[in-house]
Structure 1
Amino acid sequence: SFAMADAAPAPEVVEKSEKQLKREEEKRRKKAEKEAKEAAKKERAAGPAAGPVTVKVIANPPIDLEPCPGTRDFYPEDMRLRDWLFGHFNEVAKLCGFQNYDAPVLEMQELYKRKAGEEITQQMYAFNDKSEPPREVTLRPEMTPSLARMVLQRSKAHNLPLKWSSIPQCWRYETTTRGRKREHYQWNMDIIGCRSIAAEVELLYAITLFFKRVGITSQEVGIKINSRKVLGSVLDTYGVPKDKFAPVCVVVDKLDKIGPEEVKKQLVEDLAVPADSADKIISSLGCKSVEELAALVQSADNEAVKELTQLFAMAEEYGFADFLLFDASVVRG
């Protein structure tokens, strides 16, 4: 016969208190958080996952995402190029003994009106500020007036000559065309307090040094050289009074654009220059060397010719004469 074993007693069910349940839930939550942090740490260490990243683009954004007309954005790839270029600007300036400076982009309108007259405000971002009474201010269209203001502000403290360099952002409210916007950066190098032709030679040396550092040779770039002193002597020789020097220069500056016939017409009809003198002026503008111009105009100011000759001689000694091209028609400066 078989005897039946006694059945084991059922385990006693112990009810947990609400406090214990909350404690266990807190433990599970902390454990899950710890595991999630460890997983995220491993994912960061492994790097971004391969494959494309999808960015959601709003079809009709609530605002215009383009920059203001005449301005531009500099994305990282653009900034890399700009930093490279500006780096060469600054390095060349430093090598040539120039000191960097800067000025506020906001200046008083009067600073530019004194130089170019009231009409200049039509080409500027000019407005009245919120002061009482309002001040007439503008975004700077160029750096030279700011430089002059700074130099005059401490005129008694400077040891001349000054050699200053800057890369200012400038603003002009003009019609935008290809390659010409309303905001631009420009590299300025100025020497103040030196009357010698050596100042021009130093500046020319600096720009040609920059060209060489970025791989530009005299086969790709030439710098046209002339002297306003020599041009003034030429005009004086042909009977042009000194009070007509500036307007004659404006007309002569258009030679490449409108041609000799139209230049002569404007000189004779608009400025009352004798026809014979106009022909001689235009003929002198075709000279390709200082010596040729000096021979054509024998009564030209010897000091002016000597100064220009010295510039080319010093350029030869500095080793950048191959970049220079004498052009008697160059007027602007």
Structure 2
Amino acid sequence: MAEAKNGKKKEDKKAIKSAEKVASKGPAIHLDPPAGTRDFFPADMRMQNYIYGKWKETARLYGFQMYDAPVLEHEELYKRKAGEEITEQMYNFEDKEGYKVTLRPEMTPSLARMVLSLMRAETGEMAALLPLKWFSIPQCWRFETCQRGRKREHYQWNMDIVGISTIHAEVELLSAICTFFQSVGITSQDVGIKVNSRKVLGAVLRNSGVPDQKFTETCVVIDKLDKIGAEEVVKLLVAEPINLEKAVAERIVHATSAKTLDEFANLAGVGESDEVKELRLLFKLAEDEGVVLFSGALKVKDAFYARHQRWA
């Protein structure tokens, strides 16, 4: 064993000397990848392939089919539908033919484009049997400040159900996530799944006088609660372009910081509305999983889903 380790050290030293020798013959070679990216050595790839294998195994167990799309997309696809924060972080440029393109910052717009391509223009009918149950493991890019646990490239596991409007689609997705956790030895002692509702938050914002056209900007600001704190979020809500009254902004922030659905409903003044009842049903159906938690805020990535509920 000791001989094997010594042999490996010698090989590593030879590789380093070889790289230094090549670098000395010409312009300096950057041995580190570009900022915010990473190399995957064989040991890293083994772990990645193991996780990806579990994702694929779980998705197929629930009847999902794998799909993919180009990592290079039309810039307009994101500027029209995504939140402002995403469009500001795009790796976008003009190609040699003059087209404005971008490395995809997320997968949902590509999914929407593909689903629309299956729709017959003359009738609006789908040229595929619904529901569609698709999954993907895309590499996504965002030009943002690099920090611990947050790079400029990332891989994510997406599972989407198109053509079911009931809460049962969400329950199936939650069940699939729990099945994956169990397959890799993770239990409710280790993790919790935060669940929020666009409908509930939408009702809160409408009751607070926030117009529908400002829903996305408001969600983007609320999403910053954990990063900048309640006081700074209130300042952003009362400033341009949202312009809420301070008392209203404070009530929204207070409500979205709630830890339970009951607390949220009381603070937000939505009581037992249809939106809250639907979310209660979700928790009831998912209670056997034991890892589902309530979250009053709606993440930035959900802004796109807010505009495409008819597909859910």
Q: What SS does structure 1 have at the residue aligned with 2:140?
A: strand
Q: Check the 8 A contact 1:230/1:300 in 2, yes or no.
A: no
Question: Displacement of 1:239 after TM fit?
Answer: 4.2
Separation in structure 2 between the aligned mates of residue 87 and residue 145 of structure 1, nearest angstrom: 25
Counterpart position of 1:324: 292
Separation in structure 2 between the aligned mates of residue 172 and residue 296 of structure 1, nearest angstrom: 35
Counterpart position of 1:8: none
Root-mean-square deviation (Å): 3.0
Instruction: Identify the match of residue 107 of structure 1 among 55, 61, 73.
Output: 73
Worse-matched range after superposition: 162-171 or 103-112? 103-112
Counterpart position of 2:21: 60
Q: Check the 8 A contact 1:140/1:170 in 2, yes or no.
A: yes
Counterpart position of 1:312: 283
Q: Check the 8 A contact 2:85/2:220 in 1, yes or no.
A: no
Counterpart position of 2:129: 159
Deviations 1:273-298 (A, max 9, x none): 34443444344334443334445556
Question: Displacement of 1:99 after TM fit?
Answer: 0.4
Counterpart position of 2:256: 285
Q: Within 5 Å, which residues of 2 pair with 1:165-244?
A: 165-244=135-214
Return the letter of the residue paired with 2:65: Q
Separation in structure 2 between the aligned mates of residue 282 and residue 128 of structure 1, nearest angstrom: 40
Separation in structure 2 between the aligned mates of residue 225 and residue 118 of structure 1, nearest angstrom: 23
Separation in structure 2 between the aligned mates of residue 170 and residue 226 of structure 1, nearest angstrom: 23
Question: Displacement of 1:145 after TM fit?
Answer: 1.7
What's the TM-score once normalised by structure 1's chain length? 0.72
Structure 1 residues 152 and 269: CA distance shift in structure 2, 3 A: closer
Structure 1 residues 234 and 70: CA distance shift in structure 2, 3 A: closer
Structure 1 residues 84 and 277: CA distance shift in structure 2, 3 A: same
* 1:126 paired to 2:92: yes
Question: Displacement of 1:163 after TM fit?
Answer: 0.7
Counterpart position of 2:310: none
Structure 1 residues 83 and 283: CA distance shift in structure 2, 3 A: closer
Q: Check the 8 A contact 1:230/1:301 in 2, yes or no.
A: no
Can you give the 5+ residue segments of structure 2 that lack an aligned partner in the other structure?
A: 24-28, 120-125, 303-312
Can you give the 5+ residue segments of structure 1 that lack an aligned partner in the other structure?
A: 1-48
Q: Within 5 Å, which residues of 2 pair with 1:38-77?
A: 52=7, 54-55=10-11, 56=14, 57-58=17-18, 59-62=20-23, 63-77=29-43
Q: Check the 8 A contact 2:254/2:267 in 1, yes or no.
A: no
Question: Displacement of 1:82 after TM fit?
Answer: 0.8
Counterpart position of 1:96: 62
Separation in structure 1 between the aligned mates of residue 138 and residue 249 of structure 2, nearest angstrom: 41
Structure 1 residues 80 and 326: CA distance shift in structure 2, 3 A: same
Return the letter of the residue paired with 2:197: S
Counterpart position of 2:109: 145
Question: Displacement of 1:92 after TM fit?
Answer: 0.6
Return the letter of the residue paired with 1:291: D
Return the letter of the residue paired with 2:40: F
* Structure of greater Rg: 1
Counterpart position of 2:307: none
Structure of higher RCO (CA pairs closer than 8 Å, 6+ residues apart): 2
